[in-house]
Each structure stands twice: as structure tokens, then as C-alpha cells.
Amino acid sequence: MRVRNIQGEDYVKIHSVLNDWWGGRDMAAMLPKLFFVHFQETSFIIEEDGETLGFLCGFFSQTHKEEAYVHFIGVNPKYRRRGIASTLYSYFFDVARANNRKVVKAITSPVNKKSIQFHQEIGFRIEAGDDEVEGVSVHTNYDGNGGSRVLFLKNV
């Protein structure tokens, strides 16, 4: 298993599997190539024998100088629950701390129960929102009309 920084050349192979990895949900539109070009220092990929096991795209906030943000994390369904996502986050936390970032934020859809559970398991807390979906606090219209999201926060 090899962890490295993401490169522009990784975009096509990751982008082409996103919707499959999410069980047919349209996720590809949420991950533009700019993350693979402009945020390589804070984005990672895990590979083994030429296969992509997982990836994380993150960046440092330009507005909130103590914050870092994970825009997207994905794990190949064949390799879930094997520490891939935890490893990716560990690399991101390390680079965030090395750059004096004290807080890492992330979001997910309220329908993604596995993501909510995972983020809580690795120490993220849910930021209080303005509504609840199935007992989980959400921020309504965070991503536009009907785009409610669960917001996570972790001190690093």
C-alpha cells in the first residue's frame, strides 16, 4: 500500500469511478479537476498494485487561517473498513498541523449514514445546524436549495 500526494494525472482514473463507488449517486460533478491541480500538497491517494484504494482532496482555508477543509474523501468499496480513510485523514491532519492549522472541517450529506458514523469514530463532532434529519443536526440549504449538509469539526 502506497500513499502519495495526488497529481493532475490521477483525475481521470478517480473521476471515472466516483459514481460507481457511491452506488450510482451522481458524485462526479462535485469533484472538479482543480483539486488535482491546485491542492496537491493537501490531497492524497492510496494505491496498491496499480489500483486506487482511496483518495482525499483537501485544502487550507484562505479566509480562516487556522482551518483546513476536506472537500472530498472516497474509498474503493472493495477496501472499505480497512483503515484506508483513516490513513488518508492521518496524512491530512499531519500536513494541517505542520502548517499551523488547528481545526479541520468537512461535510457530508445527511443520507450518508456511513460517512456520519465514520467521521464521529475518528473524533469529528457535528456542528449544530438549524434543522434535524433523522436525529442528525443539519445546515439547511448549505449547498443551495435543498442541499442540506452535516458539518463536521475536529481540533487537530
Structure confidence by residue, pLDDT tens digits, 13-66:
999 999 999 888 888 888 889 999 999 999 999 999 999 999 999 999 999 999
Task: Evaluate whether the domain defined by 1-101 bears CATH number 3.40.430.10.
Answer: no
Q: How far apart are CA 129 and CA 97, in angstroms?
A: 27
Most confident of 12-21, 93-102, 141-150: 93-102
Q: C-alpha angle with apex 136: 67 to 107, nearest 5 degrees? A: 30
Q: Please give the grid coordinates belonging to residue 92.
A: 491530512
Give the C-alpha separation, 64 to 17, whole Å: 32
- The pLDDT of 3-8, averaged and rounded, is 98
Domain boundaries, the chain: 1-101, 107-156
* First-to-final CA distance of the chain: 25
